[in-house]
A and B are shown apart, each in its own frame.
Chain A
Amino acid sequence: MDKSIFRYILFSILLLVIQITVLNNIQFSGYVNPYIYVMIIMLLPLGFPQWALLLTAFATGLVVDAASGTLGIHTSSTVLAGFVRPFILTYMAPRDGYEQGAALSMRIHGFRWFAVYAGWVILIHHTALFYIEVFRFAEFFRTFLRVLLSSGFSLIFVLLTEYYRKLR
């Protein structure tokens, strides 16, 4: 158990470093800005208390905000992602329920389940993020297209990362 916590923290730091140093600095065509750090919220184990999850989300968003000089944008959307996570999990529960304290990984739940789960979390997070960033509903569909394309890319990144973790 201790080992897995240690590995989770290490993995989170790695995700943040990749996000801040690499992904924040790339730009394909103005539509695609992948944000993979939301995986930190996704991977917390099932038994993790909700209030602590929200605090983790808050801290994660704050770090990304501080590093990219945009106070509040990442923080508010990551906290929202943390808030909806239990609803998504309830909605996606297997017929005989989750195993107590099980990790929410591709290894345990399979590729399909993880892809749908990650897709929902990313979509909600990105929708909040891009609309808060633009801060207006004019050009609604253009922002929507940015949300969809960026979510697609983030999902690919997250699935590749998770697939790699599964192999190890």
Chain B
Amino acid sequence: MRNLLNFISRYSNLIVFIILEAVSVWFLVRAEGYHSSGFFNGVRNVSHYITRQISGIDGYLALREKNLILARENLELRNRLESYRELLPYVPVNDSLSDDKDYIYVLARVVNNSVNKQYNYITLNKGKSDGIEPEMAVTGPDGVAGIIVSVSDKFSYAMSVLNLDFRLSVRIRKSGYFGSLRWDGFSVRQAGLYEIPYHVDIAVGDTIETSGYSAVFPPGILAGTVAEVDGSGGDFYRIVVNLSTDFRKLDFLYIVPSLKVVEQQGIEVI
């Protein structure tokens, strides 16, 4: 017994160190999956509160710029609406509109967002009570932004495109060839486009958009433009894409609940 006490007093610092380090590694492992549990939700609420205060100030300072962006988007939508109005007499009108819709958009505000980590996430102020569920797409006025990974009652938590785990099925608008978009961890403005075979005709400046194959993202949403094409080596191009969304100034985003994702996945199960 005395030996034990001696041992403890001699190595007390090491013991304290090991205990604290073990607790923080436990935090790491528990937080990794972002499952809900009382304690972690408590910590996350504190962090939401802090970042909400900061983003409040941030949002106020950037109002002028945000207004410009919204006005520009409004203008574009209005133009598009006008062009549809011409077609309206020729389009068969279906009364039960909601049956035919594939996607509906939910407006959400960015509460927290990071760009300087390897695994970046976006917190949005719409949650389960607004009908948000995991695996819904998140887009911004300029293009794709992320995908919802977990939801609480009032908030949702989205994996940003700037996350090493993020994969997106995209296609080249002009030729329709599809590949996979993923971030390489370097620049906030750029990502890599993979699996485009060597024979495809591609040039700098080509538009990259979502393919819609996953049923999470609607097809045709802008992802970026081709910045560099490297055809040397292998069967596939190495392509750098300039992302259309600037993740350093996200404010309002759209969550896109897909109405048919369950149905599509249901038939795709082998």
Q: Which of B24, B54, B118 contacts A58 (CB 8 A)?
A: B24
User: CB of B117 within 8 A of chain A?
Assistant: yes
Name the residue on B nearest A71 (C-beta): B31
Q: Which of A61-69, A101-109, A160-168 contacts B (4 or more CB under 8 A)?
A: A61-69
Q: Which of A27, A33, A66, A139 contacts B248 (CB 8 A)?
A: A27
Q: Which of B20-35 contact A (CB under 8 A)?
A: 20-21, 23-31
Q: How would residues 121 to 135 of chain B score, 1 for a CB under 8 Å from any chain A CB and 0 otherwise? A: 101000000000000
Q: How would residues 228 to 265 of chain B score, 1 for a CB under 8 Å from any chain A CB and 0 otherwise? A: 00000000000000000000100000000000000000
Shortest Cβ distance from residue A77 to the other chain B in the assembled complex, whole angstroms? 9
User: CB of B4 within 8 A of chain A?
Assistant: no
Q: Are A68 and B47 in contact, CB atoms less than 8 angstroms apart?
A: yes
Name the residue on B nearest A80 (C-beta): B21
Question: In the docked arrangement, what's the CA distance between A27 and B116, Å?
Answer: 6
How large, as a class, is the contact surface on chain B? 35 or more
Q: How would residues 112 to 143 of chain A score, 1 for a CB under 8 Å from any chain B CB and 0 otherwise? A: 00000000000000000000111000010010
Question: In the docked arrangement, what's the CA distance between A82 and B19, Å?
Answer: 13
Chain A: residues with Cβ within 8 Å of the partner, total of 36
Q: Which of A26, A55, A69, A132 contacts B28 (CB 8 A)?
A: A132
Please name all residues of chain A whose beta carbon is closer than 8 Å to the beta carbon of B112 when the two chains form the complex: 69
Name the residue on B nearest A136 (C-beta): B164
Q: Which of B62-70, B171-179, B181-189, B208-216 contacts A (4 or more CB under 8 A)?
A: B181-189
Question: In the docked arrangement, what's the CA distance between A54 and B21, Å?
Answer: 10
With contacts A76-B25, A134-B118 known, is A30 near B187, CB below 8 A?
Answer: yes
Q: How would residues 9 to 48 of chain A score, 1 for a CB under 8 Å from any chain B CB and 0 otherwise? A: 0000000000011001111011001000000000000000
Question: In the docked arrangement, what's the CA distance between A132 and B28, Å?
Answer: 9
Q: Which of B38-46, B73-81, B98-106, B218-226 contacts A (4 or more CB under 8 A)?
A: B38-46
User: CB of B152 within 8 A of chain A?
Assistant: no
**Number of A-B pairs, beta carbon distance below 8 Å:** 95
Q: Are A70 and B24 in contact, CB atoms less than 8 angstroms apart?
A: no
Name the residue on B nearest A74 (C-beta): B24
Q: For A29, A72, A80, A83, which residue has the most chain B Cβ atoms within 10 angstroms?
A: A72
Name the residue on A nearest B30 (C-beta): A71
Q: Are B20 and A55 in contact, CB atoms less than 8 angstroms apart?
A: yes
Question: In the docked arrangement, what's the CA distance between A61 and B47, Å?
Answer: 13
Shortest Cβ distance from residue B197 to the other chain A in the assembled complex, whole angstroms? 25
Question: In the docked arrangement, what's the CA distance between A49 and B13, Å?
Answer: 9
Q: How would residues 83 to 121 of chain B score, 1 for a CB under 8 Å from any chain A CB and 0 otherwise? A: 000000000000000000000000000001011111101
Name the residue on B nearest A132 (C-beta): B28
Please name all residues of chain A whose beta carbon is closer than 8 Å to the beta carbon of B16 when the two chains form the complex: 50-51, 54-55
Name the residue on A nearest B14 (C-beta): A83
Shortest Cβ distance from residue A144 to the other chain B in the assembled complex, whole angstroms? 14
Please name all residues of chain B whose beta carbon is closer than 8 Å to the beta carbon of A58 when the two chains form the complex: 20, 23-24
Please name all residues of chain A whose beta carbon is closer than 8 Å to the beta carbon of B119 when the two chains form the complex: 133
Please name all residues of chain B whose beta carbon is closer than 8 Å to the beta carbon of A76 when the two chains form the complex: 21, 24-25, 27-28
User: CB of B51 within 8 A of chain A?
Assistant: yes
Please give the residue numbers on chain A whose beta carbons come within 8 Å of chain B beta carbons, in ascending order: 20-21, 24-27, 29-30, 33, 50-51, 54-55, 57-58, 61, 65-73, 75-76, 79-80, 82-83, 132-134, 139, 142
Please give the residue numbers on chain B whose beta carbons come within 8 Å of chain A beta carbons, in ascending order: 12-13, 16-17, 20-21, 23-31, 40, 43-44, 46-47, 50-51, 54, 112, 114-119, 121, 123, 185-188, 248
Complex A-B: 25 CB contacts under 8 Å: A21-B54, A26-B116, A27-B188, A30-B116, A30-B186, A33-B116, A50-B13, A55-B16, A58-B23, A66-B50, A67-B46, A67-B50, A68-B114, A69-B112, A69-B123, A70-B31, A71-B30, A71-B43, A72-B28, A75-B24, A79-B24, A82-B17, A83-B13, A83-B21, A142-B185
The 3 closest A-B pairs by CB, nearest first: A72-B28, A72-B27, A71-B31
